[in-house]
Amino acid sequence: MQYLFMETELINEGGFNYIENGNGRPIIILHGLMGGLSNFKGVYDYFPSVKHKVIIPELPVNSTPILKTNVATFSKFIFEFIQYKNLKDVILLGNSLGGHVGLLFTRDYPELVSGLIITGSSGLYEKSMIGDGYPKRGDYEYIKTKTEEVFYDPKIATKEIVDDVFASVNDREKLIRTLSLAKSAIRHNMAKDLPKMNTKTLIIWGKQDSVTPPNVAEDFNKLLPNSDLSWIDKCGHAPMMEHPNDFNKIMEDWLSKNNL
């Protein structure tokens, strides 16, 4: 996984790779398919100062057998990670595919989750970040444009991010995994599950998200019985990257209000 924090050492133990910071109630961050761990640098740096331990495990996107590369496998992986770390009353925070993993995990293991935060999550509506079947995956400028479209401010899509996406979609095995996950996300549509999920849930959404449009956030909010919806303006698919301070404030206020 790219974009690890230069000052942070990746912990490798028990078959898991992760970083962690702070003490207190654990916040487990679930990254997206194309997202590196440092997409959540703002959350990772801030919340240990307000009495939380922040943990970001690497989802095994590239090491899981292709036939098992799906949302359910990653949910089970998080269960095994939580068991290994002997955690309880966790707060899950997921972006994009990570939000979907968090939703599925919360459905299956509600007793382990005290709060769920999703942003730009799949689970109701899926649109490929790059385009169906990646028809122009060898065209760098096309990939650059599609990556920039993920954000309201295209400058957030640095050359490092674009290079990583370009490499991923031009690696045949990674491409197959990506398409497998996309199909899995569609298969695991959660519209029928959400009304039965009573876990406290915060939905933070970019008003200009073109990957999972604003109506998706509204649908999540309608279907989840115990949810709050907050918007960030001038913001695309990754609010925690584009507006980290606003994101942290919304998240902190919600955690405080719910005694989490």
Question: Whole-prediction pTM value?
Answer: 0.91
Dihedral angle sign, alpha carbons of residues 128, 202, 90, 240: positive
Mean predicted lDDT score pLDDT of the chain: 88
- What is the distance between the alpha carbons of residues 224 and 201, in angstroms, rounded to a whole number? 8
Q: Give tens-digit pLDDT for 155-209.
A: 988 898 888 888 877 888 877 887 788 788 888 899 999 999 999 999 999 999 9
| Among 242, 241, 214, CA closest to 229 | 214
> How many Cβ atoms from other residues are within 10 Å of residue 44's Cβ?
23
Dihedral angle sign, alpha carbons of residues 252, 193, 175, 28: positive
According to the model, what pLDDT value does residue 3 have?
42
56 DSSP β-pair partners: 19
- What is the distance between the alpha carbons of residues 123 and 194, in angstroms, rounded to a whole number? 10
- What is the distance between the alpha carbons of residues 104 and 98, in angstroms, rounded to a whole number? 10
Domain extent listing, the chain:
11-127+188-257
Q: Give tens-digit pLDDT for 128-139.
A: 544 444 446 678
- What is the distance between the alpha carbons of residues 243 and 152, in angstroms, rounded to a whole number? 10
According to the model, what pLDDT value does residue 133 have?
47
Whether the pLDDT of residue 34 is over 60: the answer is yes
- Class of the domain covering 11-127+188-257: alpha beta
Structure tokens at 147: 């990556």
Q: Half-sphere exposure of 51 toward its Cβ, with a 13 Å CA cutoff?
A: 4
> How many Cβ atoms from other residues are within 10 Å of residue 242's Cβ?
20
- What is the distance between the alpha carbons of residues 3 and 220, in angstroms, rounded to a whole number? 30
According to the model, what pLDDT value does residue 57 have?
95
